[in-house]
Amino acid sequence: MSHIIILFSLTLHCLNYVDGDKNIGAIFDDGTFLLESAFKVALAAASEGQDDPFGGTVVKTSPGDILETESAFCSLLENNIFGVLGPTVQGPLQHVQSITDSLEMPQMIIKPEVSQNRNWSTVNLYPHHIAYSQIFADIIQMKSWTEFTIIYEGAELLPFLDNIITMQNTNSGEKILMNLVQLPDGDDFRFQLKTVKSSGSLNYLINCSLKTLPLLLEQAQQVGIMSDDHSYLIMNPDFQTVDISPHKHGGSNITGIRLFDPSLESIQTFITSLNEKVVELSEGQIENAIADDALTLDLALVYDAVILYTSAVNAMELEEGANVTCEDNESWEFGSSVINYIRTMEIDGLTGIIKFDEDGLRSDFEVDILEVMAHGFEKVGTWSLEDGYTETRTVIPPTEQEGSDSMKGKHFLILTALSAPYGMLRESAKKLEGNARYEGFGIELIEELAKMNEFNYTFDIQADGVYGSYNPKTKKWNGMMEKIMDGRADFAITDLTITSARQKAVDFTSPFMNLGITILYKKPTKEPPNLFSFISPFSSGVWSWLAGAFVGVSVLLFVLGRLAPEEWQNPYPCIEEPETLDNQFTLANSFWFTLGSVLTQGSEIAPIAVSTRMAGSMWWFFTLIMVSSYTANLAAFLTVESKFYAITSVQDLANNPYGITYGAKKGGATFSFFKESDNLLYQKMYHYMDDHPEYQTATNDEGLERVKSETEKYAFLMESTSIEYMVERNCDVARVGGLLDSKGYGIAMKKNSPYRQPMSESILQLQEEGKLIRMKDKWWKEKRGGGVCQDDDVGGGDAQPLVLANVGGVFIVLAAGCGLAVLCAFLEMLFDVWMISHRMKISFKDEIIAELKFILSFSGDTKPVRHREPSGSGSRSSKKDKEDSGEAESIGDNRLDPAPTPRSERSSHSHHTLHSRRQSNAVQMARMRKYSGRSIL
Ligand code: GLU
């Protein structure tokens, strides 16, 4: 049956020959020409200068197909081979191994094979796993890792961790903590990497295939574990062939090894020959299969295996190959001798010195230790079994680019919080991944900064929204601050306030936004119209001053009326020589006069004297202005809707007049402001908030919801920029009062970070270019429903009562006018007294004393006429007439009469008018005597 299968299988693979006298077989996977080309290049190199060149028979099998591989191997035996190379896949390899062992057919292996037995006919050029693991154990010791996570791909790689897993302490005696994480099948390792990240581990030992490695590094970058604080140790020997450019500026320390230096001439010659061979085998379809720096270990090992084996055959001068078959159970008589000989050999191959220990294992080899630098790979040391790790690193002086270009190409983990509009989840019908999941002001700002400084970044969300405050009891920071300080994130951006306490723990960039603390509360409610709103146009102060002015001017008019001689009038115009004179400015009349003009109604009273007219006109002017101002402001009050403001300032809030509770974000900068303030009012508010932790919120949004709540009277102390954002979208809330302080938001980073300066410079540049303000308008006013409340208050506004400052000027004018009127009244009085004293030839002093006594007695509105003209002389006017015509006039009694006697009329009427009036008075008096029969004098 097995024969049938073998025959059947033989039809499935084809043999490929290289002419030569000494034939070596090789079993490779179907698919690539590389291994086959390497084999043929090596045979050519081994045959160079040989009389009996080596030939080869290559058979290709489907990867992992054990039966096909067995038949392939058996068919190789028919070619009288000296030995076999391969296969390269684990299952078939072990199967063929058991056959070669029984046939004592030397087998060269180039793949890790942990179950290799020293007695088997196998020689493995791949470094032995125990020695291999020792390389990394030594590097870990050298790096003094006290914790690390081993990330490995398949269980078959576990033996390569032998010497690492058994490590207990560092060289300095510190305990080493290690985690093991196995990568799943497939190509998504993000979940495992996130777990590693959340464990807080910063050092990673990676053992995975060459195919997986770039993917893993890329996903590590996405997850955010590729920053300055993370270190990687890569176990794959082909690490140097990976395209490391996405990670070389990322800041992480990435270390690996190599078994050969690709820049060596022997390697470059091999690569050239290899590429030529691939072109030949693929009939020109594949060109430049291998780049100058992309030679993998398996190809170099194929070459070394052929050289090693052919050297042994040459040295042993074997002429005949093994004439054995799978069917006969006979073994090759020289087989074990060849194996033993090889194990004693030492040659210089592409992969360094090739030699084997007493167990036939390649334990003694030398590797270069590489580190990823900004310019690519750099050899920093060597490792050999004998010497262990030897550092060869040359200290490179910082390049001139360090500083402004120091962020170029690096990858940073940026911490943010879901706080609108700084960081928000992007709304999308599609499932988004990575940074595309977030948007907002902070996200856009980082995009801009990344463009300017050419860095890469991954966002990470602070799930609990805690920005960070210091706990003096535990002496620890929490939230985002803690992560920045611990190096679990490179930058933190959100509405993160720069405070003095935080500045001591981390570095901040220049502020990208300025703000202050203020109050968020429900919009003021509309008040029902006020029945007494007519009082509102003037403040109570103005009303009091107005009342004062009214009383003052009224009294003044009363006094002026008494002072001014013109105001004393003959009550009966028909009597030429009245005994008394009347004054219209009685106290009551004075009040009536002023009231009439205030109410714009007028009165029958008309001032006669200059002084009273002056005071009266000033009062009219005053009332004109006051009434106009009142009317204008009343119109404003009647059109403006009056609103009820429960609180208008932080003082109101602290006094808590309507049972309004208040709070701030827990552990936030606002809360800290009240805590740290030495202002008594703010201290009082801090104690209130501290005593009522239930009024503190976890986020600003929670604060907003409480403010909006119908069931609660709650005011939220918050930062003005966030309030601006909220009132744009929530029309039922408003900002109350002014700013309590002034501060800014900045991007936080580790203390003494070299990135502070370039980031600050870029922020200032964005500010100067006006980009920051445009971004703010976009995220505040346009995006996510901004601007819905914009027109809410149109037609609103607030009418304010007029205060003294608005109308004070008119009071001054009134006062000045009144002063002038008083002066005028005195002059009038003095003049009049002087005239009388002169005319009556009496003492001016006596007359003025008598006049003042009368005035200041304030007794009634009737004044007796003290100085009468001699009889028949007529009125003062007629006397004046006489004086004017040059007639001398005898002077009557110049003393105050015990019985008042009529006094001439002293009106200011014109001479002509007086004359005619005198005539009509005389007629009138005659009539009155006739009819009444009694004297009115
Ligand atoms: N911006 C504040 C902070 O950085 C949070 C909000 C607040 O306290 O009002 O802590």
Q: What are the tens digits of pLDDT across the range 78-133?
A: 888 999 998 888 888 888 888 888 889 999 999 887 765 655 788 999 999 999 99
| pLDDT tens track for 774-826 | 999 999 999 888 888 865 554 445 678 888 888 899 999 999 999 998 899 88
* pLDDT, position 660: 92
Whether 303 shows a pLDDT value over 50: the answer reads yes
Could you give the strand order of the β-sheet that contains 517-522, starting from the edge strand earlier in sequence?
A: 661-663, 714-719, 517-522, 733-736
Residue 482 has pLDDT above 90, yes or no: yes
Domain 533-640 has CATH 1.10.10: no
Reported in sequence order, the residue ranges of 333-395 that DSSP labels E, i.e. its strands, are: 346-349, 352-355, 366-373, 376-384, 388-391
Mean pLDDT, residues 555-570 taken together: 87
Average pLDDT over residues 326-337: 86
Mutate to test the pocket of ligand 1, among 418, 495, 506, 697 (most ligand atoms within 8 A of CB): 495
Model pTM above 0.75: no
CB 672 within 8 A of CB 702: no
Contact present, 401 and 374 (Cβ < 8 Å)? no
Nearest to 89 by CA among 113, 116, 117, 125: 113
The angle subtended at Cα 797 by Cα 795 and Cα 800, nearest 5°, is 135
pLDDT of 204 higher than 80: yes
Residue 51, judged by CB atoms within 10 A of its CB (0-12, 13-18, 19+), counts as exposed
For the domain covering 645-741, report its CATH number: 3.40.190.10
| Separation CA 353–CA 547 (nearest Å) | 115
290 lines ligand 1 (CB under 6 A): no
Residue 426 has pLDDT above 90, yes or no: yes
CB of 36 closer than 6 angstroms to any ligand 1 atom: no
Specify the DSSP element, H or E, that contains 10.
Answer: helix 2-10
Judge if the beta carbon of residue 254 lies within 6 A of ligand 1.
no
Pick the CATH number of 416-515+746-782 from 3.40.190.10, 3.40.50.300, 3.60.15.10, 3.40.50.2300: 3.40.190.10
Binding-site annotation, residues for L-glutamate = 497, 502, 670, 719
Contacts of 819 (CB under 8 A, 6+ apart): none
Fold held by 2-127+284-359: Rossmann fold (3.40.50)
Above 70 in pLDDT, residue 921?
A: no
Give CA torsion, residues 435, 440, 442, 444, to 10 deg: 70
Cis omega (within 30 of 0) for bond into 106 = no
> Does residue 665's CB lie within 6 angstroms of at least one atom of ligand 1?
yes
Omega before 573 within 30 of 0, i.e. cis? no
Residue of the nearest CA to atom 6 in ligand 1?
668
**Ligand 1 atom showing the smallest separation from residue 469 Cα:** 10
Determine the residue of 415, 418, 467, 470 to mutate for testing ligand 1's pocket, defined as the one with the most ligand atoms within 8 A of the Cβ atom: 467
Give residue limits of the domains in the chain.
Answer: 2-127+284-359, 129-258+367-395, 416-515+746-782, 533-640, 645-741, 861-937
- R_g over Cα of the chain: 56
* The residue type at 477: W
**Token output for 72:** 């392939």
- The correct answer on CATH 3.40.50.740 for the domain covering 129-258+367-395 is no
Backbone φ and ψ for 309, nearest 5 degrees, come out as -70, -45
Q: Are the C-beta atoms of 662 and 717 separated by less than 8 Å? A: yes
Q: Is pLDDT of 398 > 60?
A: no
Weakest mean pLDDT among 174-183, 329-338, 477-486, 737-746: 329-338
How far is ligand 1, taken at its centre, from the CA of residue 201, in Å? 30
pLDDT of residue 522: 92
Sheet order of strands, 748-749 included: 456-461, 411-416, 491-492, 748-749, 507-508
Is the pLDDT assigned to residue 203 strictly greater than 90? yes
Domains 2-127+284-359 and 416-515+746-782 share a fold: no
Q: Tell me, what's the pLDDT at 405?
A: 60
Check residues 657 and 504 and name the one with the higher pLDDT: 504
Give the atom of ligand 1 at the shortest distance from the alpha carbon of 718: 9
φ, ψ of residue 416 in degrees (nearest 5): -145, 175
Phi-psi region of 144 (alpha: psi -120 to 50; beta: other; left: phi over 0): left
**What percent of the chain is modeled with pLDDT above 90?**
49
Return the structure tokens found at 527.
């008040």
Q: What's the mean pLDDT in 716-742?
A: 93
- pLDDT above 90 (res 743): yes
d(CA 50, CA 73): 27
